[in-house]
Structure 1
Amino acid sequence: MMNKIPRRIVTGMKDGKSVIIEDLPVENAVEHFPGLIISDVWNTQTMPASLDFEARIPNTGFPKTPKNGTYFRYVVVPPDKDLGVKWKKNEPHPMMHQTLTLDYIIILSGELYLIMEEGETLLKPGDIVIQRGTNHAWSNRSDEPCIQLAILIDAKI
């Protein structure tokens, strides 16, 4: 699965004209747990964002979005059974977490449950989630990995 992370194309300016500066496979894909692959494809460190600067960041299982910054994250979520996640319906999900960010998430393939402290919903390809700094977890109850793109923006909570 690691070799299926898309390539990263970075544009910029050279001699007053737009150019492609980089066209390579994503280099910082990390498998944090079996099958859980995360690549922090791009980030910004300030708002408004600088167009001339990239600070390469290490991938983390749970993101550490910079103050006044953003993360652009590619995530492969394997089936729960492959991760070894066991969860009983009336107990908190073991992967429940909260980020201090506004997240725009798009499901590219597979399916995934978004679990909240109260309630859940099944997400399918093309679904969009606006995650506003709330406690949540992801559960893949299918037999196939789910791929999502997420843009995380530092927020006031």
Structure 2
Amino acid sequence: MSDLRDEQSTLLAATKYKPVRRIVTGEDSEGRSFIVSDGPTPNVTITKFASAAQVPWATGAAAAPGDDPAPAGHIFGFHSEGGALLRIADFPPDQEIDTTKLAEFLAENHVVGDRPGRHFWFHKTLSLDYAIVLEGEIYAMMDKGETLMRAGDVLIQRATSHSWSNRSSKPCRMAFVLLALPDDDSR
């Protein structure tokens, strides 16, 4: 476990992002609760376009087999069929984003919209997302309009075209609970 912590700490230290502490509970053979693990989230992705994502937990089709559904190195899409995905994402200021690499990432993950957006992050996924600002601030942009979100604000993103714009000089940390929706869901 210490090798994993060292690897994740090194990865995050190379950026401006801090590890997310993950505390997992369980029950013993007598049904008594206890702390199973307490340490940095092992599943960390530093993107090629300058953001970071840490997945502390997943359920459903995207979860890894075994005792840890979000181990180091496991690849996650934007949501998990038949379950939920918890992702902590760090958004750098807009001026630090490599927009060419971001466009490649969105295309590789099949989330590029069929119409141009007002901002380079514009995308749409078939999911219900609870987006919570933990630190910093960010603009939630829609096709029509936008709103500034600050720490403690929650956006209910209902499978709509949207973008995130960090116009500040500091990173913004957000928590996302992502729930897949069936194709015919009215949200």
TM-score (norm 2): 0.70
- Cα distance in 2 for partners of 1:125, 1:64 equals 23
Residue 20 of structure 2 corresponds to: 6
CA deviation profile, 1:71-90 (whole Å, cap 9, x unmatched): 0010000001111449xxx9
Residue 134 of structure 1 corresponds to: 160
Displacement after TM superposition at 1:38 (Å): 0.3
Residue type at the aligned position of 2:142: M
Instruction: Describe the shift of the 1:108–1:56 C-alpha distance in structure 2 as closer, same or farther (beyond 3 A).
Output: closer
Q: Name the % identity.
A: 35
> Which one of the candidate residues 111, 118, 122 is aligned to 1:96?
122
Alignment size in residue pairs: 147
Structure holding more strand per residue: 1
Deviates more, 1:71-80 or 1:92-101: 92-101
What's the RMSD between the two structures over aligned residues? 2.4
Displacement after TM superposition at 1:92 (Å): 3.0
Q: Is the 8 A contact 1:26 1:39 kept in 2?
A: yes
- Cα distance in 1 for partners of 2:69, 2:133 equals 26
- Cα distance in 2 for partners of 1:92, 1:59 equals 29
Residue type at the aligned position of 2:56: V
Instruction: Describe the shift of the 1:53–1:109 C-alpha distance in structure 2 as closer, same or farther (beyond 3 A).
Output: same
Partner of 1:33: helix, strand, or coil? coil
Q: Is the 8 A contact 1:29 1:59 kept in 2?
A: no
> Which one of the candidate residues 52, 57, 64 is aligned to 1:42?
57
Structure holding more helix per residue: 2
Q: Is the 8 A contact 2:20 2:54 kept in 1?
A: no
Q: Is the 8 A contact 1:33 1:83 kept in 2?
A: no
Residue type at the aligned position of 2:140: L
Residue type at the aligned position of 2:69: A
> Which one of the candidate residues 107, 115, 118 is aligned to 2:133?
107
Residue 49 of structure 1 corresponds to: none
Deviates more, 1:71-80 or 1:93-102: 93-102
TM-score (norm 1): 0.83
CA deviation profile, 1:30-64 (whole Å, cap 9, x unmatched): 11135400011111117xxxxx964336345xx33
Residue 19 of structure 1 corresponds to: 34
Residue 122 of structure 1 corresponds to: 148
Q: Is the 8 A contact 2:123 2:163 kept in 1?
A: yes
- Cα distance in 2 for partners of 1:91, 1:22 equals 42
1:74-89 counterparts in 2 under 5 A? Answer: 74-85=88-99
